[in-house]
Amino acid sequence: MALSKADVNNINITAVASKAIRWNSAADGFESGALGGSMVLLSTLTASSSATLSFVNGASSVVLDNTYDSYVFKFINIHPETDSADFTINFSIDGGSNYNVTKTTTLFRVLHSEADDVTNLSYIAVDDLAQSTADLIILDRIKNDNDMSGNGTFQLFNPSNTTFIKNFISRTAAQSGGTYQADLFIAGYGNTTSAIDAVRFKFHTGNIDSGIIKLYGIT
């Protein structure tokens, strides 16, 4: 197959923020656009003693539809007001009126102590869900010491699809019990063929003292 080439001195493209230069669909010129697999920042929510942080499609620049194949939520320095609180997620199919999508998950935790006397990889049955509408724990037992927080990502695939159930994966990290580094690995699905149009985050007890959640669309 012959390689295409272009005269770089004659490229005339209007610059667009957060876009890249790529071949057009006819492969006879260039255009600006997002590259495949790139992350597009859609919305940012910042907690300040917040009971919940919710992303609702169409509200405050939030996009949760068929614009992107998948969406990633990035958690940055999530800090609880209440000690040893579990950070949770749930989904809505009615614009945020109810967060009660049925979910099934598998959840594993990797644990390592500061003293190097405890190492563990285990399946966490107590936090796992089997056809449950309960909130899913994605960061567990976060300490509320001033210097401790939870961080990580949660990826939701094809939330607006009305043919298939909704798969998701998550990886998060926090200091569990104050002297342990804990990583949680989660995979699961929302057992609904309705479009998910809202996602809510909250602690199982107490408010979100501080922290940031960013929503990205994956092209």
pLDDT band at 155 (very low <50, low <70, confident <90, very high): very high
pLDDT of 42: 96
- Neighbour-count burial of 1, counting CB atoms closer than 10 A to its CB (0-12 exposed, 13-18 middle, 19+ buried): exposed
Domain assignment present for 81: yes
As a whole number, the mean pLDDT across the chain is 89
Query: Is position 29 within any domain?
Result: no
Q: Which two tokens stand for residue 10?
A: 């004659």
| Residue 52, domain CATH | 2.60.120
In a domain, 203, yes or no: yes
Q: Identify the pLDDT of residue 77.
A: 97
Q: Give residue 219's pLDDT.
A: 84
pLDDT confidence of residue 178: 64
Query: Residue 212: in which H helix or E strand, if any?
Result: strand 208-218
The answer to whether position 160 is within a domain reads yes
pLDDT of residue 71: 98
Report DSSP letters for 150-194, one per residue: EEEEEEEE-TT-SSS-EEEEEEEEEEETTTEEEEEEEEEEE--SS
Domain hosting 115: range is: 36-218
What are the pLDDT digits (tens) for 99-143? 999 999 999 999 898 889 889 999 999 899 999 999 999 998 898
> What total number of domains does the chain contain?
1
In a domain, 132, yes or no: yes
Is pLDDT larger for residue 18 or for residue 19?
19
Residue 2 pLDDT > 60, yes or no?
no
Phi and psi at residue 127, to the nearest 5°: -100, -10
| pLDDT tens-digit series, residues 172-202 | 999 876 688 889 999 999 999 999 999 999 9
Question: Which band of pLDDT confidence, cut at 50, 70 and 90, is reported for residue 18?
Answer: low
pLDDT at 165 over 90: yes
**Residue 35 — pLDDT band, cuts 50, 70, 90?**
low
Whether residue 188 lies inside any domain: the answer is yes
What does residue 118 show for φ and ψ, rounded to 5 degrees?
Answer: -135, 125
Domain contains 16: no
